[in-house]
């Protein structure tokens, strides 16, 4: 597998971890950067979500994250809407790293197709499907 030509590069939230999930996605050919790689350690732990979400959007990157509750946080939801951020979050937060990566990879065609639309959006990533979540 390689990074689909139609899929922008990825930005991974710290919730997916610094090592295993990024490495599994890279091993599958995906191009990405993590919060830790961009901001450094331990600064990545202090960066507000609103800041890195704006950065991801300004760099035309797709966000992979673990927490779909972002849509309920007014400040974070505002950034997603105002900066047209395109997000994919795991529907289940209690998964081992290999299953987290597998869910993104198993849905890569659907994720790539969804990214043909402009943001803002948040999709929940399930085992065999993705589902667009309401921002309101």
pLDDT per residue over 21-71, tens digit each?
999 999 999 999 999 999 999 999 999 999 999 999 999 999 999 987 888
**4 part of a folded domain:** no
Residue 52 within any structural domain of the chain: yes
| pLDDT of res. 25 | 98
- 87-131: per-residue pLDDT in tens? 999 999 899 999 999 999 999 999 999 999 999 999 999 999 999
Q: Is the pLDDT of residue 82 over 90?
A: yes
Q: What does each C-alpha distance from 90 to 42, 66, 97, 127 come to in angstroms?
A: 24, 5, 12, 9
Predicted model pTM? 0.95
Q: How far apart (Å, rounded) are the C-alpha atoms in residues 123 and 16?
A: 16
Collect all residues with Cβ–Cβ distance below 8 Å to 74 and sequence separation of at least 6: none
Where does the pLDDT of residue 80 fall: very low under 50, low under 70, confident under 90, or very high at 90 and above?
very high
pLDDT for 136 beyond 90: no
Residue 94 lies inside a defined structural domain of this protein: yes
Assigned domain for 3 exists: no
Look at residue 29 and tell me if it is in a domain: yes
How many domains does the structure of the chain reveal? 1
The separation between CA 93 and the C-alpha centre of its own chain, rounded to angstroms, equals 13
Q: Establish if 47 belongs to a structural domain.
A: yes
Residue 26 sits in a domain whose CATH number is: 3.40.50
Domain membership of residue 91 (yes or no) is yes
With respect to residue 5, please indicate whether it lies within any of the assigned structural domains. Answer: no
Range of the domain at 77: 10-133
Residue partners of 45: CB distance under 8 A and separation at least 6 = 14
């Amino acid at each position: 597998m390689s990074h689909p030509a139609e899929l922008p590069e990825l930005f991974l939230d710290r919730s997916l971890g610094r090592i295993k999930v990024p490495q599994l996605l890279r091993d599958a050919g995906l191009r990405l950067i993590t919060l830790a790689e961009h901001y450094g350690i331990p600064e990545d732990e202090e960066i507000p979500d609103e800041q890195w979400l704006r950065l991801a959007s300004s760099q035309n990157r797709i966000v992979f994250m673990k927490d779909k509750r972002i849509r309920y946080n007014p400040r974070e939801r505002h950034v997603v809407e105002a900066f047209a951020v395109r997000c994919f979050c795991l529907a289940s937060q209690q998964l081992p790293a290999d299953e987290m990566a597998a869910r993104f990879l198993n849905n890569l065609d659907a994720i790539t197709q969804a990214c043909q639309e402009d943001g803002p959006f948040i999709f929940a990533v399930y085992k065999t499907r993705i589902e667009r979540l309401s921002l309101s």
